[in-house]
Amino acid sequence: MIKSLRAVLMLAALAAFSPWVTKTHAAPVIRTEGGLVRGFEAEHVDQYLGLRYAAPPVGARRWGPPASAASWTGVRDATRYGSRCAQAASGNGPRSESEDCLYLNVYRPAGARSNARLPVLFWIHGGGLRVGAGDQHDGALLARTGGIVVVSINYRLGVFGFFGHPALSAEDPDGGSGNYGLLDQQAALRWAARNIGAFGGDPHRITIAGESAGGWAVCANLVSPTARGLFAGAIMQSGGCPTQPLAETEATGAAIAEQLGCTDQARAAACLRSKPPSALLDAGESFLPRFTSGGDALPVPAADAVAAGHFPRVPVITGDNRDEGRYFAQQQGWATLGRQEYDDLVGALFGAAAPAVLAEYPYAAFPAPYAGGYAIAAVLTDSPINEGLGGCPAQDLAATLARHTGTWFYEFADRHAPGLIDDPPGFDWGAAHTLELGYMWPSFNYGTPLYPRLTPPQRQLSGQMLRYWGAFVRSGTPRVPGQPLWPSHEAGDVLSLRPGGETATISAGEYGAEHNCEFWHTLGA
Q: Is residue 119 part of a domain?
A: yes
Give mean pLDDT, residues 317-321. 98
Instruction: Give ∠ CA 473-302-520 in degrees, rounded to 5.
Output: 95
Q: Which pLDDT value is given to residue 2?
A: 44
Tell whether 310 and 333 lie within a shared domain.
Answer: no
Query: At 148, is the secondary structure helix, strand, or coil?
Result: coil
Residues 330 and 418 in one domain: yes
Question: Could you tell me if 325 and 337 are in contact, meaning their C-beta atoms sit under 8 angstroms apart?
Answer: no
Q: Which pLDDT band, with edges at 50, 70 and 90, does 173 fall under?
A: confident
80: left (phi over 0), alpha (psi -120 to 50) or beta: beta
Q: 374 with 310, same domain?
A: no
pLDDT, position 450: 87
Q: Is residue 281 part of a domain?
A: no
Residues 421 and 295 occupy one common structural domain: no
Report the distance separating Cα 215 and Cα 315, nearest Å: 15
Q: Which residue has the higher pLDDT, 22 or 203?
A: 203
Kindly write down the DSSP assignment for every residue of 407-471, as one continuous string: EEEEEE--TTPPPS---STT----S-TTGGGGGT-TT-EESEESGGG--HHHHHHHHHHHHHHHH
Give dist(CA 180, CA 323) in Å, integer.
32
For the domain that residue 340 is a member of, what is the CATH number?
3.40.50.1820
Q: Is 229 a member of any domain?
A: yes
Q: 91 pLDDT band (50/70/90 cuts)?
A: confident
Rounded percentage of the chain residues whose pLDDT exceeds 70: 95
Residue 270 lies in a domain: no
Give the closest residue to 525 by CA, choosing from 380, 420, 308.
380
pLDDT tens-place string over residues 27-78: 999 999 999 999 999 989 999 999 999 999 999 999 999 999 999 999 999 9
CA distance 436 to 413: 9
Whether 231 and 378 map to the same domain: the answer is: no
Per the CB < 8 A criterion, the answer to whether 212 and 12 are in contact is: yes
> Within this chain, do residues 300 and 332 fall inside the same structural domain, yes or no?
no
Name the nearest CA neighbour of 389 among 5, 129, 1: 5
Digit-coded pLDDT (tens) for 368-412: 999 999 999 999 999 999 888 899 999 999 999 999 999 999 999
Instruction: Give 248: exposed, middle or buried? Use CB within 10 Å, 0-12, 13-18, 19+.
Output: middle
Give the per-residue pLDDT at 84: 97
Indicate whether 304 and 327 sit together in one domain: no
Looking at the chain, the whole-number percentage of residues with pLDDT higher than 90 is 89
Long-range contact list for 508-514, CB < 8 A, 24+ apart?
508/395, 511/395, 511/411, 512/392, 512/395, 514/322
Decide if 220 contacts 129 (C-beta within 8 A): no
Pair (102, 229) in one structural domain: yes
Q: With respect to residue 59, please indicate whether it lies within any of the assigned structural domains.
A: yes
Q: Above 80 in pLDDT, residue 149? A: yes
Provide DSSP, 305-338: HHHHT-S----EEEEEETTHHHHHHHHTT-TT--
User: How many angstroms separate the CA atoms of 52 and 41, rounded?
Assistant: 20
State the Cα–Cα distance between residues 497 and 398, nearest whole angstrom. Answer: 16
115 shares its domain with 218: yes
pLDDT at 36: 98
The pLDDT of residue 464: 97
Q: Is residue 388 part of a domain?
A: yes
Count structural domains, the chain.
2
User: Which residues is 36 bridged to in the sheet?
Assistant: 31, 75
Q: How confident is the model at residue 113 (pLDDT cuts 50, 70, 90)?
A: very high
pLDDT of residue 12: 36
Q: Which of 255, 280, 314 is the last residue of a domain?
A: 314
Give residue 23's pLDDT.
Answer: 53
> 274 lies in a domain?
no
Residue 236, beta-bridge partner list: 210, 318
Residues 17, 22, 25: CA angle, nearest 5 degrees: 140
Mean pLDDT of the chain: 93
CA distance 1 to 5: 12
Residue 18 placed within a domain: yes
Residue 149 CA to residue 520 CA, distance in Å, equals 41
Task: Say if residue 373 is in the same domain as residue 303.
Answer: no
Instruction: Name residue 395's amino acid.
Output: Q
pLDDT at position 387 is: 84
In this predicted model, what pLDDT tens digit does every residue of 443-454 receive, in sequence order?
Answer: 887 666 788 999
Same domain, 299 and 362: no
Sequence-distant (≥ 6) Cβ neighbours of residue 428 within 8 angstroms? 326, 370, 374, 419
Domain that holds residue 162: 6-246+289-314
Q: Model pTM? A: 0.94
pLDDT top residue among 172 and 16: 172
Residues 326 and 414 in one domain: yes
Catalytic residues: 212, 324, 433
What single-letter DSSP state applies at residue 501?
T
pLDDT for position 388: 80
At 174 the pLDDT is 76
* Percent of residues in the chain assigned helix, strand, coil, to nearest 5: 40, 20, 45
Indicate the burial class of 476 (C-beta count within 10 angstroms; 0-12, 13-18, 19 or more). middle
Confidence of residue 9 (pLDDT cuts 50, 70, 90): very low
